[in-house]
Amino acid sequence: MHASPEDNTPNTAPAIDPGSAPEAALSGPSGPSGPSADAAERLLRLLADGASAEELGEAGAGTPAAAGLALRVHRTLAQHRRREAQLTALFDTATDLAASRDLDAVLQAIVRRARMLLGTDLAYLTLPDEAAGDTYMRVTDGSVSPLFQTLRLELGEGLGGLVAQTARPYATPDYRTDSRFHHTRNIDAGVLDEGLVGILGVPLLLEKQVIGVLFAADRSPRPFSPDEVALLCTLAAHAAIAIDTARALDDTRAALADLAEANAVIREHSAAIQRAEEAHDRLTDLVLRGGEITAVAEAVSALLAGEITVLDPDGQPLAGAALTADMPTAAIEALVAESRASGRAVEAGGRWVCAVLAGQELLGSLVLSGRPLLEDADRRLFERGSVVTALLLLLRRSVAEAENRVRGELLTDLLGSPDRDPAGLVQRGLRLGVDLRRPHLLLAAQASTPSNAAASRSKLAGAATRLLFGRGGISAEHGDTVVLLLPAGAEPVSTAAATAAAQLSQLTALPVTVGAAGPAGGVARLAAAHAEALRTLRALRALGREGDGACAADLGFLGVLLGEGHDVSRFVRETLGPLLEYDARRGTELVRTLDAYFACGGSLTRAKDALHVHVNTVVQRLDRVEALLGRDWSSPERALELQLALRLHLLTE
Q: What is the mean pLDDT of each run of 10 residues along the chain (653 residues)?
A: 39 38 43 60 71 70 72 71 64 63 78 87 90 87 92 84 88 90 88 94 88 93 89 84 79 85 78 66 65 76 82 80 73 84 83 84 83 79 79 71 66 76 81 83 83 76 78 80 86 88 87 88 85 81 80 67 56 81 88 88 87 89 88 82 76 54
| Beta-bridge mates of residue 483 | 444, 476
The C-alpha atoms of residue 207 and residue 200 are separated, in whole angstroms, by: 22
272: how many CB neighbours lie within 10 A of its CB?
16
Burial per residue of 135-154, b for 16 or more beta-carbon CB atoms within 10 angstroms, e otherwise: bebbbbbbbebeebbebebe
| Beta-bridge mates of residue 445 | 482, 514
Boundaries of every domain in the chain: 5-87, 101-251, 290-398, 417-562, 568-652
Question: What's the DSSP call for residue 439?
Answer: -
The C-alpha atoms of residue 159 and residue 187 are separated, in whole angstroms, by: 10
Q: Kindly give the pairing relationship between strand 361-369 and strand 307-311.
A: antiparallel
Measured CA distances, 410 to 238, 402, 434, 442, 520 (Å): 101, 13, 10, 14, 17
Q: Check if the beta carbon of residue 364 is closer than 8 Å to that of residue 356.
A: yes
Domains 101-251 and 290-398 share a fold: yes
Side chain identity, residue 8: N
Alpha helices in 509-633 (DSSP H): 523-542, 557-562, 568-586, 590-599, 604-611, 615-629
Q: What pLDDT does residue 207 have?
A: 81
Q: What pLDDT does residue 71 have?
A: 75
pTM exceeding the 0.75 threshold for the entire prediction: no
Angle at 599 between CA 595 and CA 601, to 5 degrees: 125
**Residues sharing a CB contact under 8 Å with residue 288, sequence separation 6 or more, in sequence order:** none
Q: How many CA atoms lie within 13 A of 266 on its CB side?
A: 6
HEC per residue, 604-625: HHHHHHHHCCCHHHHHHHHHHH
Torsion of CA 580, 586, 590, 592, to 10 degrees: 80
The C-alpha atoms of residue 512 and residue 510 are separated, in whole angstroms, by: 6
Q: What CATH class does 417-562 carry?
A: alpha beta
Burial per residue of 184-197, b for 16 or more beta-carbon CB atoms within 10 angstroms, e otherwise: eeebeebbebbebb
Burial per residue of 572-583, b for 16 or more beta-carbon CB atoms within 10 angstroms, e otherwise: bebbbebbbebb
The C-alpha atoms of residue 469 and residue 466 are separated, in whole angstroms, by: 5
Q: Check if the beta carbon of residue 393 is closer than 8 Å to that of residue 356.
A: yes
**Residues sharing a CB contact under 8 Å with residue 72, sequence separation 6 or more, in sequence order:** 13
Q: Check if the beta carbon of residue 447 is closer than 8 Å to that of residue 510.
A: yes
Q: Into which CATH architecture does domain 290-398 fall?
A: 2-Layer Sandwich (3.30)
**What is the SS3 assignment for 406?**
helix
- Among 94, 45, 83, 41, smallest CA distance to 63 is for 41
The C-alpha atoms of residue 488 and residue 643 are separated, in whole angstroms, by: 34
Q: Kindly give the pairing relationship between strand 198-206 and strand 346-348.
A: unpaired
Q: What pLDDT does residue 418 have?
A: 73
Question: Angle formed by the axes of helices 64-99 and 103-118, to 10°?
Answer: 170
The C-alpha atoms of residue 499 and residue 493 are separated, in whole angstroms, by: 10
Please measure the distance between the N-terminal and C-terminal CA atoms of the chain and give it in whole angstroms: 130
Question: Counting Cβ atoms within 10 Å, is residue 297 exposed (0-12), middle (13-18) or buried (19+)?
Answer: buried
HEC per residue, 217-257: EECCCCCCCHHHHHHHHHHHHHHHHHHHHHHHHHHHHHHHH
Side chain identity, residue 573: R
**Residues sharing a CB contact under 8 Å with residue 135, sequence separation 6 or more, in sequence order:** 126, 127, 128, 129, 152, 153, 154, 155, 160, 161, 164, 213
Q: Check if the beta carbon of residue 282 is closer than 8 Å to that of residue 291.
A: no
The C-alpha atoms of residue 79 and residue 85 are separated, in whole angstroms, by: 10
The C-alpha atoms of residue 313 and residue 356 are separated, in whole angstroms, by: 9
Q: 101-251 in CATH: which number?
A: 3.30.450.40
Q: Check if the beta carbon of residue 156 is closer than 8 Å to that of residue 180.
A: no
Question: Angle formed by the axes of helices 376-416 and 453-468, to 10°?
Answer: 120
The C-alpha atoms of residue 307 and residue 143 are separated, in whole angstroms, by: 64
The C-alpha atoms of residue 117 and residue 86 are separated, in whole angstroms, by: 7
Angle at 625 between CA 622 and CA 629, to 5 degrees: 145
Handedness of CA 35, 41, 42, 44 (dihedral sign): positive
Q: What pLDDT does residue 85 have?
A: 63
Q: Kindly give the pairing relationship between strand 481-487 and strand 152-153.
A: unpaired
Q: What is the DSSP string of 268-279?
A: HHHHHHHHHHHH
The C-alpha atoms of residue 443 and residue 467 are separated, in whole angstroms, by: 12
Angle at 189 between CA 183 and CA 192, to 5 degrees: 100
